[in-house]
Structure formats: structure tokens, C-alpha cells
Structure 1
Amino acid sequence: MSCVDIKFENIVYPKLNRGTANQEILKNLSGCFYSGQLTGILGGSGAGKTTLINLLSGHITTNIGGKVSINDAICSGADLKNSSIYLMDDDLLQTSLTVKESLLLVAELKLDKRLSASNKIKTCLSIVEKLNLTSSLNTMTENLSGGEKRRLSIALELISDPPIIFMDEPTSGLDEVSAKNTIDLLRSLSRDGKTIICTIHQPSNIIFNMLEHVYFINDGRCIYDGTVNGLVPFLDNILFPCPKNYNPADYILEMSQNNEEISLRCNSVFTPYRFDREKCGNKEIVSYGNLKSERRRIGFLKQTGVLLKRHFIQTKRRKLAMGINVAHHILCGLMTGFLYVGTGNDAAKTANIYKLSLGAVAYISFAYAIIPILVYPFQIKIIKREISNDWYGLKAYFLTQSLAPLPYMIPLCFLFTISCFGIVDSSLSLERYSRLSVILIGVAIVSHFYGHTIGAIFNAKNACVIGSMVATIAMNIGSFHHYRISFTTWVIRQTTFTRYGVTGCLLTFYQNRKLNCSEIVCRHSVEKLIYDDFGVGIPSYLVQLSGLVVNVICYAICFYVILRIKFYSNLVEVWRNFKAKLSK
């Protein structure tokens, strides 16, 4: 491990043009965070702690004034991201995996592919032993205690041996003992030459005294930069002595927030902190160029393989959910088909088959869209953390999301087709069952990407409302079957995947088929009249299937672009800054 120091000078955020009102969150901050020691950034709510750590970790890259350097080499936001890992205050862990499985899967993603499996296991076990997780190796991640989850979050990132670790509120949500153990762990990691930087809102006296370097912020300005032991003499020097038996951290925060004079005095006697490099031991200080060359990443296909492996392990563990899903498809298929039992070969009751097709498409659409709409807004936080900390790339994740549902989506749609259409017309051939299943699988894939797109854009509450609203509108437009429609309605209908699903089912059911007639005269004994009355348009199965394929491609592209914007683009950050300016 090489020593890595982060230095920042005259940091202003957001950087504003002349004549703009003073809305700065960080105001001319300077300092240096050294390896070999544990640094705590302290301050009250809204002081700018999280903003500073987001900036130093490369998660804020626009509207920044000043410069940031690693080992005296000026670096960009991308450089900062590549050289560090960032752990937020909530422990975002993949569920339905044991601690051991989580570590080994991450080791496959992060460690050099040339490293043998036994060496990867040794790396994981050494980290487990260091973080005191040996007794929890076979425990599911969702069953861990708060302290164990925090240690596992750290362990997963330590596999790649990062030189810099940023942590936002590492003690939040933990009891005093777990918080003390977490800080003690961070201190031991800093002894290995790592640069550990964490924000802490209001530390207890015990936690505060465990820190080695503290950086106090109030109203976007640094009011103290130094050691814990140096804080009380500093307060005496500015004529605001800390009372005995009083936590110095609490005192300086309370006084700076309630007394503007103390902030002015702090700024007047402020001196930057300097660290004795000898405390870093024999660790080598390397240039940033050499530091970047140490980082490696496995290939795209290997990443996809590991992510698919993780997905299938999780799916296999969720047996109850899979059982409910199977029963749900069969029962809903039977209930839908029961409404029109025995009417499939009757030319007088073709409207029943149209309604059946519409009901089948509606069921499949909502079944495969509603789960990602409800779940993905929470899951995307985990994915963002994993991609941000360089576990894998967005393309590998996207391909995994595209392929992973197919092994259970295909048989489930076939089960639904048999249970739904089988009792309506028992004379259907295997070929027609297969064609119906392919159409419904196409609808399911489109709905899968549609649900993920909505879930990626909105939070769970808004996604549920907007997702169901848009799907209902699409269903109504797609089911509008009268052949005398306006050109505008016709164009809109061509863009709805439900239209291709319904007409595809209808074509499969009636194409090249002789129907019986239960009445004296049946208009729909003529196949062409069925298609005309229900507005099928071009009576071609391949056209309907092609329409679904185009919809799959369009929704998949939308999903990928949304993820790209969320994970990599500065558009989200720019939009937030714009909204902040408008609100003021």
C-alpha cells in the first residue's frame, strides 16, 4: 500500500458568476488529509460536511472553484473517483446472499482475473478476520446486526485495497459500542497507510478522542484544522475556553452556530494542519501516475458472468416468491380463460377472444412492470454505489438486467398461455401455443424494461402512480380497435406495445383457421372481416412481432440512457443547482 495525501486549496462550491447572490455552500476551504491517520470532518447540519466529501471523492464535478491534488499532482473528479471508494451512511447490501458469498463474488469482480481462486479466498478470509466477521460468514446479509452490516460494507470495499476511503456518517444508526468498534476499525486501517476520511455529525466524547485529525466546518468555512488534543488550547487562544467535563467537539459546534464572533476569531488565528510523515512508517509515497497504473479491472464478459451468477443465487434463494409467481401465472390464466371457456372456435364469439387477448396482454404487462416500478427505486441506490466504487461497468450491468429474467420469464409465460387459452379452445395446436407464448414473452420483455425505466427515473411512490397511469393509457390506446380512426390516433397506436400484443394474439388464434358458427349467420366466418372489424391493420404475425421487437429496443435504450445519466452524467447535478437557484 502506498501513502496517498489529498490536498485541496481555496475550494468554493458552487462557483458563481459576478453579480450573483451569495449562495455558496463551501467558502474558500483549504486543507490536507494525510494517509496513516484517521481524519474526521465535523460540523452541524448544513455546515457543508457531506458536500466537501462528495467533492473530494469526485461525486461533484461541476461549478467548483479551487483545486484538488493527490500527492501534489492536480487531479480531476474522475481521477478522484478512480483512486478512492465512498461509503455512504446507509449500509446498502445485496440481499439473499451470505457474507461469504458476498465477499467471494466481489473478489471475482475486483481482483485480477489472473489471481487463482485460492488466493482470492485467502484475501477474503484475511479481511474477514481483520474486521471480526468470521462468526458471520454463513449468515444472510439481511440478518446481520447494524454493526456487522457496517463492517461488511467496509470489507467489500477493502477487497480491492483502495488507498483512500471516504465515509459519510460511519457511526450513524449504531449504538455506542458498535460506533466505537467501527471507529477503532477505521483507525487500524489507517495504520496500514490508508487515507481514511469520514464525516461525523456530533460525536460522543469517546468517539471524538479516537479521531487523530479533525476538520471543523461551520457555514461552509473551516474553523479548526488540527489534532484532537490541540482543540482545547485553540479555544483558550481565541478566548472561548472550553468548560471542564464538556465535550470540546460539542462546545465548538454550539458556540460557532450561536455566536458569530467565535467564527471570526477562529478564522483570524487559523493555521493549516501539518502531519508528521514519519508516522506513516515505511510506506512509500508514490506519484499519482504510478498510483493509477496499480488499478486493474476484469473484462466486460467476466463482469456479466459474475453478475448473472449473483442474480441466479439470489433467485434460487427466493423460493417462496418464485412459488407465488408460478401459482399467480397459472391461477390468473385459468380465471381469465374461464370467462370465455369453449368459445375459441365460434365465429359468433370472436369478441370474446379479443377481450381474452386484451386481458392476457394487460396481465402480462402489469405483472412484469409493477415489480421493478416498486422495487427498483430502492435497488438503484445499491447499483449506483457498486458502479461508483468500480465493481463493474454499466454495460455489464445492463446486459445482466436484459438476460437475467429470461430463464424464468419464458416458462412462466408459456404456463400462462396454456392455462389461459387452453380452456378457451382445447383444439389449439402446439404451434399456436408457441406463437401465443412468443407474443406474450415479447410483451413481458417490453414491460420489464418499461418498469425499470420508470423505477430509475422516479421514487417508489411517484413511480407507482406514473407507471400505472402511463400503462393504462397505453392499454386503452392499444385496444382501440375501430378501423375508422384519425391519423393522429393511428400514429399513437403504432407506438404502443399493447397494440402489437393484442393483435398478435388475435392473429395467432384465427389465422388460416376454419371456424364454426353457433348462429344462423356469422359475419366473422370470413377471416378478413375479423381483422377489419378489430383494426388489425396488416394481418401479419411477423409485423406484430417486429413491432414488439422495436418496442423492446426503444425501451431498452431509454433504460440505458437513464442509467447513464444517473450514474455518470453531470446533468442531474446541473439540474439540482438550477432548481436551487430558482428556489432562492
Structure 2
Amino acid sequence: MPLHCVAPTLENCSPQMMAAPPNLSEPQDKACLAYPLGTNSHSFLQRTLYPIILKFEDIAYKVGGEKKGKSSTGEKTILNGATGMVCPGEILAMLGPSGSGKTTLLTALGGRLYGNLSGRISYNGQPFSGSIRRLTGFVSQDDVLYPHLTVKETLLFTALLRLPQRLSMEKKLQHVEHVITELGLTNCRNSMIGGPLFRGISGGEKKRVSIGQEMLINPSLLLLDEPTSGLDSTTALRILTTIKRLASRGRTVVTTIHQPSSRLYHMFDKVALLSEGCPIYYGPASNALEYFSSIGFSTSVTVNPADLMLDLANGIAPDSRHEIEQCTNMEQDQQSIREILLSAYDKNILTRIKIELCSSDANDYSHSKDVFRRTHTKAEQWCTSWWHQFKILLMRGLRQRRYDAFNKLRIFQVLTVAFLAGLLWWQTPTSHIADRITMLFFFAVFWGFYPLYNAVFTFPQERAMLIKERSSGMYRLSSYFLAKTAGDLPLELALPIAFTFILYWMGGLKAEPLTFILSLLIVLYSVLVSQSLGLAFGAILMDVKQATTLASVTTLVFLIAGGYYVQRIPPFIVWLKYLSYSYYCFKLLLGVQYSENDYYECSKGTYCRVVDFPAVSSVGLNHLWVDVSIMAIMLVGYRLIAYLALHRVQ
């Protein structure tokens, strides 16, 4: 039966809710609601003009399972019946053992959960939308940051992408400095974030940087997944004190936390306790012990409330059970305790929560369905223009990748191969046509495969960052993709240019400026095509191991079918060589070095036509512009495939 609504929503919320929430469905600058343009930088983090009341009711989420007729098999329930409400100024902490569904529920509240999600979630009575997304800060458990950027650079690039373009650069810098001061990052502001290969800032500082990235947009709703995970108690207290201060200024805060200390626990306003996806407590943190004592689960010793709650969520009763022991006269097994807790929750808590969720406006959910769906409209606006996003992403990419592209190992590797090959082919005479053709094929193979193996790492390594930033609505996928493509050009083309300069002249190839320039352009052209295929492999598979394996098989096939090793391919498989860009690169290099009228000394005093040499005749020297066009199609096609594949990343 439908519950009777007894009180308006605002009356159930904390006093910090000073003004009625805005109607986010009204036309306005939806992309930048979280940031009031006229706000002074010093009061930027001290006010929230758009407070959000978050409600969630009967949230359920299932994964797996195959449909067979009307039934399904193998389906697993991750969440089942989570219900609650959080108001501005409050912190809701979601507790529970590992695998209890805390992160899943938090992800659902952030509008980032896909799949079989049911229930109702509302933000000031509105469903999730692009407007809500830009009012929401989401801090994941893992700190997804670029290792080669400093703390200030990380926050500055985030500000440039997420704050309104109308805001001046000076104002954005002020906000970045204010966030750095607010989060206690002043001492490490110019230190690199760091990664697995080199040391950077500490774990607590990384967590504060992640929080700072979200605070730059002055979010109304702040969601944090395990913000104290892996930190010592002092650092955890410092971070939660910061979160408490941010909530006290009118923000709605929801956090998951695994096992907080008593000091941390008493900083929460509300607590939701989950056990195997089912809620067994929801209410004020200060009332939790009293509630569990009232249903027969109490302890005779002073205990951290979080420890007692986690024991109960695992089906472990405290040392004193009063009525429970009298009824059973024996130790309860875990399942029995869990059933008692679920029954008590349904009887004592669920009805109260649903009454609180009722508001005076009965139309809040009138257009909602049982299944909550993420809503995206084509009319969604962005805080910044496409061109602005492209410029900032390009600048950030160049700064981050300068250490990867020009590291000493890569430079040493390429230059060593170039000099060694130059010595092996030192000033090869024109009469030794087999050696000269082998050198040209080496050009085609090395710069057809080396960039491919580097490119397959690009998108898999940035998958977590792409998901995080795209989920926050920071930029369009097209601006990211083109910025990444353009940013790779100067970095990826510098080494092949140096390689060609060294080997071409050491090897004694045709010493004409035009021929050299054309040969260099062909090599660079092959690099771009090879890189495009690597990007496509990485974007499709999004797994470095699988992409590298596929690249190995592909390069082996292209190597064999490249026109040098196998010159008479059987007709039923001859199509393989037309898929190999190494074949076209090899043919173009031969085409600029030789013509159909060129001769070489095949034996003493005897001259033969170059086109009759087996390795040349197998590929030919005509229709070169057709080959250029085919490689252009490959270049565009592979990158288009990579772009379309990135749309699936979520």
C-alpha cells in the first residue's frame, strides 16, 4: 500500500538548507550550475548556492544470468532494497564488509552504474541528468592521476577543463591556489604525483589531490569511495576532518568506508550498514548502538560502534545477546543472525525511512519508472568549447608524455639500431642491389612495427583516467581523441626522422635531396599508419596483454606478406599482402629510389634492369599514387575504428 506523506522534504533536512533547491529542469547554463560566476575566490569553497537533497529508494542491482524463456539463471544480486536520504550539510557513511555492495551503491548514486539497476533515485526531485552530473564530485577509491604532472599542474588542468570558459585565467589560478591551501597541499604543490616507477607525493597527499580536483567545481553533491583506504589513522583523520568541513558549508556528502576508527565514526551524521547487499541499519550514527541493543545485540564492554556493526554485518553476534540467547540457549549461526537483523530493519527502520522520503510534492516521482535510467540529452551544454578542450588536453598531453616519448632508453634504443644498421650497410655500392633493397625493406619493417607496439599501450593505460574524466563531463570524446592524436605527432615523429637521417646517408642510398625528402616522408607516413593500427588494437581490446599479442600476430603476417620474403604467394591467400601497410611502404621506397629504366651491374660487365630483380618485380614500381591512397584509407580507417571503440569504454 502507498505510504501517506506526512511532512515536506525540507523539514526533514538539516538547518544548513537555507534556501529552496533550484528547479534543475529550468533552462539555464546547465553545464556550469555548480559555479557562481560572481563568487569571490576566497568564498569559493565557503558557499553552495545549489544545495541538493539526495533520495534513494528500493535500489536493487543484479549482474550476470542468462535469460531462458521467462526465467533467468546464474543471476547474482549485488544490492537489494537500499533506501535513504541525505540532506545538505550531512555526511552519510556506508559501512559493510568487503563485497557488501557499498561501492556499487555509491556508483549508482553518482549516476555511473550501468546494467540491471532498479529503484528510484532523485536529486531535488529530479532524475539524474547532465546538470546533476556537473554538480557532483566523485572521488574513486583508487587515485587516478597523471604521474608526471605536479600537484599544481594537475589541479590547474582540471580547473581549465571544468570551470566555465568565461572565467578568467587569473580567477582559475586563484581557485587552484585556494584549494591547495584549503587541503594542506602547499608543501608539495610543485612535486610530481609519482607512479610505480618513481617516487612522488604520499598516499594521503594523492587522496587530497583527488578530492581537490572535485572541489574545484564547488560541487553540491560529493561522493567518496573509501577516502581513508590504505592511510594511517592520523592521515585518515585529517582527510575526514577536511570532508567534514566541506559538508558543514552546505554540501551533501556520501562516503563508503571499510572500518573507521571511533574518532572517524563519530564525525558521521548518518550511517547505512549493508550486509550482502541488504541494508540492516540506516539512521543517525549516534543512535546505532542503542538501536542494536534494543533488538538484543548489545555488548558489555566499551567498543567502537563501527566494529560492532561490522561484526553484525558478518553475522557475528557481540558477547552479550540477552533475549536472543534466552530464546535459543545456543550460539546463533551467521545466517540466523542476519535474518534477525533483516527482519528488525524491515519492522523498525524501513517504514520510518519511507515516510521521510515522502514530500509535499507528490509529483516528484510521478514521471519515474521502477527502473532508474541515466538520462542524457543531446542538448547538454558544456562548460567549455570544443576548441578550448582540445587546446587544454593537447597541452596536458604534451606535458605528461614528454617523459615517456623522450626517455633515455627509447632514444638509446633507436639511435643504437640506426648506427648499427648504418655500419652493417655502410656505403653499399649500387651494384649490390640485394643489400640496398634489404635496407629499404628494413626501413619499412622497423618503422612499420615499432610505433605499433608503442601505440597499443596508449588507451589501455589511460582507460581509468578516461572513464573518470568522461563520467565527470570534463570534455567531449572527440576533443580528447584528436588532442591525443595531434599531441603524439611531434613526439612520435622525432625519432624516425633522426633514424632516417643516420641510416640513409650511412647506407649510401641515392644522394639526391628530393629522393631523401620523399623517402623520409614515406617513412613518417608508415609510422602514422602503424600507430593508427596500434591505437585501434588498444581501443578495441583495452587490455595491454591481449593487444600486444594481437599486434605480434599481425606484424608477423605483415612481415611475411610484405613482398620481400615470399614473392610468389599462392592466389588463394594473395589478398594478405594487400592488407599489409609494410608492403605499400616498401613499394613506395623502391619507387622513389628506382625507376623502370634503371640498371645495375648484375655481373662483371653485364647490366640488368632493376625491375627484373625478383624482390622488385614482385611488388612493381607503378601505380604509386594508388598505394599512397590506400595507406591514407588505412590511416583514417584505423583511427576511426579506434574512436568508435572508445565510445564503449565506461
Q: Give the TM-score normalised by structure 2.
A: 0.78
Query: Which of the residues 386, 398, 407 maps onto 1:312?
Result: 398
AA of the residue aligned to 1:403:
A
Query: Which of the residues 459, 464, 468 maps onto 1:385?
Result: 468
AA of the residue aligned to 1:330:
L
Cα shift readout 1:263-304 (whole Å, capped 9, x = no counterpart): 333333224559999xxxxxxxxxxxxxx9997411111111
Q: 2:144 maps to which residue?
A: 92
AA of the residue aligned to 1:485:
I
SS in 2 for 1:14: strand
1:10 matched to 2:95? The reply is no
Q: Retained in 2: the 8 A contact 1:166–1:197?
A: yes
Q: 1:262 maps to which residue?
A: 341
Q: Distance in 1 between matches of 2:611 and 2:489?
A: 35
Relative to structure 1, is the Cα distance of residues 131 and 357 closer, same or farther in structure 2, using a 3 angstrom cutoff? same
AA of the residue aligned to 2:343:
L
- Report the CA distance between 1:171 and its aligned residue: 0.9
SS in 2 for 1:198: strand
**CA RMSD after TM alignment:** 2.8
Query: Which of the residues 399, 406, 430 maps onto 2:513?
Result: 430
Q: 1:110 maps to which residue?
A: 162
Query: Which of the residues 527, 532, 549 maps onto 2:632?
Result: 549
Q: 1:419 maps to which residue?
A: 502
Q: Retained in 2: the 8 A contact 1:375–1:460?
A: no
Aligned residue runs from structure 1 range 368-383, under 5 A: 368-374=451-457, 376-383=459-466
Relative to structure 1, is the Cα distance of residues 227 and 242 closer, same or farther in structure 2, using a 3 angstrom cutoff? farther
Q: Distance in 1 between matches of 2:597 and 2:243?
A: 73
Q: Distance in 1 between matches of 2:186 and 2:488?
A: 34
AA of the residue aligned to 2:82:
L
Relative to structure 1, is the Cα distance of residues 164 and 423 closer, same or farther in structure 2, using a 3 angstrom cutoff? same
Q: Distance in 1 between matches of 2:404 and 2:114?
A: 44
AA of the residue aligned to 1:253:
L
1:20 matched to 2:68? The reply is no
Query: Which of the residues 125, 130, 137 maps onto 2:189?
Result: 137
Q: Distance in 1 between matches of 2:304 and 2:113?
A: 33
Q: Distance in 1 between matches of 2:237 and 2:396?
A: 33
Q: 2:588 maps to which residue?
A: 504
Aligned residue runs from structure 1 range 165-176, under 5 A: 165-176=222-233
Q: Distance in 2 between matches of 1:106 and 1:374?
A: 23
Q: 1:464 maps to which residue?
A: 548
Q: Retained in 1: the 8 A contact 2:510–2:593?
A: no
Cα shift readout 1:23-46 (whole Å, capped 9, x = no counterpart): 221112222122211111111111
Relative to structure 1, is the Cα distance of residues 429 and 72 closer, same or farther in structure 2, using a 3 angstrom cutoff? same
Q: Distance in 2 between matches of 1:513 and 1:183?
A: 79
1:250 matched to 2:336? The reply is no
SS in 1 for 2:57: strand
Q: Retained in 2: the 8 A contact 1:336–1:359?
A: no
Q: 1:573 maps to which residue?
A: none
Which segment drifts farther, 1-10 or 409-418? Answer: 409-418
Aligned residue runs from structure 1 range 152-551, under 5 A: 152-258=209-315, 259=334, 260=338, 261-271=340-350, 272-273=352-353, 296-316=382-402, 318=403, 321-343=406-428, 345-346=430-431, 349-374=432-457, 376-425=459-508, 427-456=510-539, 457-479=541-563, 482=566, 484-511=568-595, 514-517=598-601, 519-520=603-604, 525-530=608-613, 533-537=616-620, 539-551=622-634
Q: Distance in 2 between matches of 1:295 and 1:549?
A: 34
AA of the residue aligned to 2:569:
I
Query: Which of the residues 19, 23, 31 maps onto 2:84?
Result: 31
AA of the residue aligned to 1:110:
R
SS in 1 for 2:649: helix
Q: Distance in 1 between matches of 2:291 and 2:120?
A: 28
- Report the CA distance between 1:182 and its aligned residue: 1.1
- Report the CA distance between 1:533 and its aligned residue: 4.8
Q: Distance in 2 between matches of 1:33 and 1:394?
A: 33
Q: Retained in 2: the 8 A contact 1:43–1:253?
A: yes
- Report the CA distance between 1:149 and its aligned residue: 0.8
Q: Retained in 2: the 8 A contact 1:375–1:455?
A: yes
SS in 1 for 2:638: helix
- Report the CA distance between 1:482 and its aligned residue: 4.8
Relative to structure 1, is the Cα distance of residues 549 and 320 closer, same or farther in structure 2, using a 3 angstrom cutoff? closer
AA of the residue aligned to 1:3:
P
Relative to structure 1, is the Cα distance of residues 414 and 493 closer, same or farther in structure 2, using a 3 angstrom cutoff? same
Q: Distance in 1 between matches of 2:304 and 2:312?
A: 12
- Report the CA distance between 1:534 and its aligned residue: 4.6
Relative to structure 1, is the Cα distance of residues 544 and 422 closer, same or farther in structure 2, using a 3 angstrom cutoff? farther
- Report the CA distance between 1:75 and its aligned residue: 3.4
Which segment drifts farther, 40-49 or 59-68? Answer: 59-68
Q: Distance in 1 between matches of 2:585 and 2:524?
A: 10
Q: Distance in 2 between matches of 1:244 and 1:79?
A: 49
Q: Distance in 2 between matches of 1:144 and 1:195?
A: 29
Which segment drifts farther, 358-367 or 228-237? Answer: 358-367
Relative to structure 1, is the Cα distance of residues 442 and 320 closer, same or farther in structure 2, using a 3 angstrom cutoff? closer
Q: Distance in 1 between matches of 2:237 and 2:151?
A: 22
Cα shift readout 1:65-84 (whole Å, capped 9, x = no counterpart): 222111112336x6654442
Relative to structure 1, is the Cα distance of residues 319 and 254 closer, same or farther in structure 2, using a 3 angstrom cutoff? closer
Relative to structure 1, is the Cα distance of residues 474 and 564 closer, same or farther in structure 2, using a 3 angstrom cutoff? same
Q: Distance in 2 between matches of 1:452 and 1:319?
A: 16
Q: Retained in 1: the 8 A contact 2:106–2:223?
A: yes
Cα shift readout 1:404-427 (whole Å, capped 9, x = no counterpart): 122233342222112122222254
Relative to structure 1, is the Cα distance of residues 480 and 14 closer, same or farther in structure 2, using a 3 angstrom cutoff? farther
Q: Distance in 2 between matches of 1:6 and 1:157?
A: 18
Query: Which of the residues 111, 116, 120 maps onto 1:63?
Result: 116
Q: Distance in 1 between matches of 2:151 and 2:410?
A: 27
Q: 2:179 maps to which residue?
A: 127
Q: Give the TM-score normalised by structure 1.
A: 0.86
Q: Retained in 2: the 8 A contact 1:336–1:360?
A: no
Q: Distance in 1 between matches of 2:86 and 2:618?
A: 69
Which segment drifts farther, 9-18 or 462-471? Answer: 9-18
Relative to structure 1, is the Cα distance of residues 294 and 377 closer, same or farther in structure 2, using a 3 angstrom cutoff? closer
Q: Distance in 2 between matches of 1:518 and 1:255?
A: 89
Cα shift readout 1:448-495 (whole Å, capped 9, x = no counterpart): 233333333243333333332322222222345655433442222212
SS in 2 for 1:166: strand
In structure 2, list runs of 5 or more residues that go unmatched: 1-47, 195-199, 316-333, 358-376
Q: Distance in 1 between matches of 2:404 and 2:125?
A: 54
SS in 1 for 2:211: helix
Q: Distance in 2 between matches of 1:510 and 1:475?
A: 22
Q: Retained in 1: the 8 A contact 2:564–2:615?
A: no
SS in 2 for 1:269: helix
Q: 1:575 maps to which residue?
A: none
Q: Distance in 2 between matches of 1:23 and 1:411?
A: 52
Q: Retained in 1: the 8 A contact 2:280–2:342?
A: yes
Q: Retained in 2: the 8 A contact 1:11–1:30?
A: yes
SS in 1 for 2:279: strand
AA of the residue aligned to 2:57:
E
AA of the residue aligned to 2:574:
W
